[in-house]
Amino acid sequence: MTVEAAAAEATAAEPTAIPRAAAHGGAKSEIIHPAWLRVTHWVNALAMLMMIGSGWQIYDASPLFPFTFPSPITLGGWLAGALLWHFAAMWLLVMNGLVYVTLGFITGRFRRKLLPLSPRQIVADARAALSGHLSHDDLSAYNAMQKLLYVGVIVCAVLIVLSGLSIWKPVQLRELSIVFGGYDAARYVHFFAMAAIVGFLSIHVIMAFLVPRSLRAMITGKG
Centroid of chain to Cα 164:
20
CA 100 to each of CA 72, 104, 138, 219: distance values in angstroms, whole numbers, following the listed order: 31, 6, 23, 16
Phi-psi region of 221 (alpha: psi -120 to 50; beta: other; left: phi over 0): left
Task: Determine contact, residues 113/100, Cβ cutoff 8 Å.
Answer: no
Fold of 35-220: Fumarate Reductase Cytochrome B subunit (1.20.950)
Q: Domain ranges in the chain?
A: 1-30, 35-220
List, in sequence order, every residue forming a beta bridge with 222; answer none if it has no partner. Answer: 31
pLDDT in tens, 159-169: 999 999 999 99
CA 219 to each of CA 14, 27, 137, 206: distance values in angstroms, whole numbers, following the listed order: 37, 17, 18, 17
Q: According to the model, what pLDDT value does residue 187 have? A: 96
pLDDT in tens, 122-140: 998 888 888 877 777 777 7
* Residue partners of 8: CB distance under 8 A and separation at least 6: none
94-120 CB burial, b ≥16 within 10 A, e <16: eebbeebeeebeeeebbeeebeeeeee
**Higher-confidence residue: 49 or 129?**
49
CA dist 150 and 68 (Å) reads: 28
